[in-house]
Amino acid sequence: MGKKVKHMGMAMTEEEHEKWHKERGEITLREHEALIKKMGITKEQHEEWHKKHGMSPEGKSESARKLINPYAIGGGFLNYCVTQGWLIQEGKGRSVRYYSTKRGEEELKKFGIKV
C-alpha cells in the first residue's frame, strides 16, 4: 500500500488522491460539500485548513495556479529580446536561429543567461 495523503482527518493513498483529482478535476459546490461531510469536519475546520495551505475554501489556489507551457514562455521571451534589440532573429519555424548583440549579452546576464 502506498503512502497516505491526509486532509483534515481523511486519509487515502497517493494513488487514490491522484486518481480522484484526475477523474474529477474541478468539482461542483455540491460535490465539495459532500466531500467535507464525508470527511466529518466542520465548515470552519475546512476553511482554516485551506487558509493555512494558501487555498480558497473551494479548493482553488489563492495564487490562481495555472499550468503553463514553458515553451510559450521561452518563445515569448525570445520575441521580447528581439524587440529590445538584444537578439537578432534569422529564419522562422524549425529553422529559426538567434544571435546575441553586444548589448544583449550584457542584458541577458541579468537573467542568469550567459551567451
Question: In angstroms, what CA-CA distances link 12 with 33, 40, 43, 92, 94?
Answer: 18, 15, 21, 49, 46
Reading the block at residue 92, the C-alpha cell is: 522562422
Q: Are 49 and 7 in contact (CB under 8 A)?
A: yes
Reading the block at residue 91, the C-alpha cell is: 529564419
pTM (global) more than 0.75: no
Q: Could you read off the pLDDT of 21-39 as tens digits, one per residue? A: 667 666 777 877 887 888 7
Q: Could you read off the pLDDT of 39-54 as tens digits, one per residue? A: 788 888 877 877 776 6
**Residue among 84, 90, 89 at smallest CA distance from 103:** 84
